[in-house]
């Protein structure tokens, strides 16, 4: 038990020394285990100078192990639990981040995409089970009414089919996705970019309370951690890797949501985009993803499930217009019907000439058309049947 506690404390302490996703730290843990990796990091035994300097700067605040103990105690008081890779409920799919990279990335925040060291979790659902059948819905904070409507509808449809809806808890598309899933009585997960004790944005206190009733709040940062801007981009790799696919609903030309999509592509997950009005600034990022990235256009929950669901079992229905009685006619019957003049009657011989069909076939098709109510027999041959009479208002006969 003491060894287990040491592992957990070491993982928390390492997240206090280096931001989640730091590859140098992840490799130390993978090679030597959390406790030894922590000792090496504190001794400055790190391979790259940038990570070494960052760890040294944070060590100036003191030994991180007592702070990790305090964080674990705070988590207990909050009803939060620490989930680590050694636990049964760890979502194993995030390990794909070991080999993930974004082509052409030059910023450190885009390069450092290592798997998480731990998760802080609030909510009753086992973490791995909640993420097993999940789809991320992300997008603009300054969403339009169109975007919020689409995100809500998508989330509702996915939750109805017992898929978990994952997002970041932010204003706009994120909040619409969470609310759509909650409205359907489904499971939703908010992945945070701050401590589990922080509600950010504060205006979403009630929304987070609702999520906790049936879903989960998840973060890599210990209690007390602030929602710093780079942390949202660091967080996005988890949203991309832990889910079966990511849907982008509205994004400006420069948007953190498009970064989530690139992370989804980097870990070989389906990246899906909802198109928007070409006149909207909130659609520029979406349309650029469709033009330049390997993203798929989706317009409904059925489309999303076709991308992330079981092969051959979750196909979206082919869009069809309303069915007309004439759709049941074969080509010859349709030609005969179209060759009958709009006014007056025509004999079968003349029909055979105009329709380009032999007389015996014309007679058979006329019998069929008469039976179906398309034509009527007249003294001069055959004529189009009059349209059915619409009852006048108040007519009950």
Q: Where are the domains of the chain?
A: 1-71, 79-308, 325-384
pLDDT value for 320: 56
Task: Look up the CATH architecture of domain 79-308.
Answer: 3-Layer(aba) Sandwich (3.40)
Tell me the pTM. Answer: 0.82
Distance CA 53, CA 145 (A): 46
Contacts of 361 (CB under 8 A, 6+ apart): 332
Distance CA 167, CA 174 (A): 5
Domain 325-384 belongs in CATH node 1.10.10.10: yes
Tens of pLDDT, residue by residue, the chain (397 residues)? 566 689 999 999 999 999 999 999 999 999 999 999 999 999 999 988 999 999 999 999 999 999 999 999 999 999 999 999 999 999 999 999 999 888 888 888 888 999 999 999 999 999 999 999 999 999 999 999 999 999 999 999 999 999 999 999 999 999 999 999 999 999 999 999 999 999 999 999 999 999 999 999 999 999 999 999 999 999 999 999 999 999 999 999 888 899 999 999 999 999 999 999 999 999 999 999 999 889 999 999 999 999 998 644 555 555 555 667 777 788 888 889 989 988 888 998 888 888 888 999 989 889 988 888 898 998 879 999 987 765 555 554 4
Contacts of 327 (CB under 8 A, 6+ apart): none
Q: Which of 284, 312, 316, 290 is nearest to 303 (CA)?
A: 316
Strands (E) located in the chain: 81-83, 119-122, 134-139, 164-167, 188-191, 216-219, 246-249, 271-274, 296-297, 375-378, 381-384
């Amino acid at each position: 038990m003491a060894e287990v506690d040491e592992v957990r404390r070491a993982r928390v302490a390492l997240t206090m020394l280096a931001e989640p996703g730091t590859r140098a730290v992840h490799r130390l843990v993978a090679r030597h285990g959390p406790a030894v990796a922590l000792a090496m990091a504190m001794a400055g035994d790190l391979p790259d100078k940038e990570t070494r300097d960052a760890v040294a700067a944070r060590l100036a605040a003191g030994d991180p192990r007592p702070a990790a103990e305090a964080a674990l105690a705070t988590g207990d008081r909050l009803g939060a639990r620490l989930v680590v890779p050694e636990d049964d409920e760890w979502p194993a799919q995030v390990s794909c981040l070991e080999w993930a990279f974004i082509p052409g990335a030059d910023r450190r925040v885009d390069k450092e995409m290592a798997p998480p060291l731990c998760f802080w979790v609030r909510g009753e659902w086992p973490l791995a089970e909640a993420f097993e059948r999940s789809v991320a819905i992300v997008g603009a904070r300054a969403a339009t009414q169109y975007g919020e409507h689409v995100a809500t509808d998508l989330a509702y449809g996915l939750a109805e089919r017992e898929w978990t809806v994952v997002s970041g808890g932010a204003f706009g598309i994120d909040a619409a996705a969470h609310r759509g899933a909650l409205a359907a009585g489904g499971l939703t997960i908010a992945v945070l970019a701050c401590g589990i004790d922080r509600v950010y944005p504060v205006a979403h206190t009630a929304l987070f309370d609702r999520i906790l009733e049936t879903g989960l709040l998840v973060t890599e940062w210990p209690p007390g951690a602030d929602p710093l801007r780079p942390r949202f981009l660091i967080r996005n790799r988890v949203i991309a890797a832990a889910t079966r696919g990511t849907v982008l609903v509205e994004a400006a030309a420069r948007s953190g949501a498009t970064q989530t999509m690139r992370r989804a592509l980097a870990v070989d997950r389906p990246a899906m985009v909802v198109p928007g009005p070409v006149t909207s600034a909130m659609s520029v990022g979406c349309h650029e993803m469709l033009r330049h990235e390997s993203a798929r256009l989706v317009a409904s929950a059925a489309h999303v499930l076709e991308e992330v669901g079981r092969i051959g079992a979750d196909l979206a229905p082919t869009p069809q217009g309303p069915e007309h009685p004439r759709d049941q006619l074969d080509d010859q019957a349709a030609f005969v019907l179209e060759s009958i003049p709009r006014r007056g009657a025509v004999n079968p011989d003349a029909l055979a000439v105009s329709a380009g069909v032999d007389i015996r076939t014309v007679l058979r098709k006329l019998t069929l058309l008469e039976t179906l109510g398309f034509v009527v027999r007249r003294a001069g041959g055959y004529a189009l049947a009059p349209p059915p009479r619409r009852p006048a208002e108040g007519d009950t006969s």
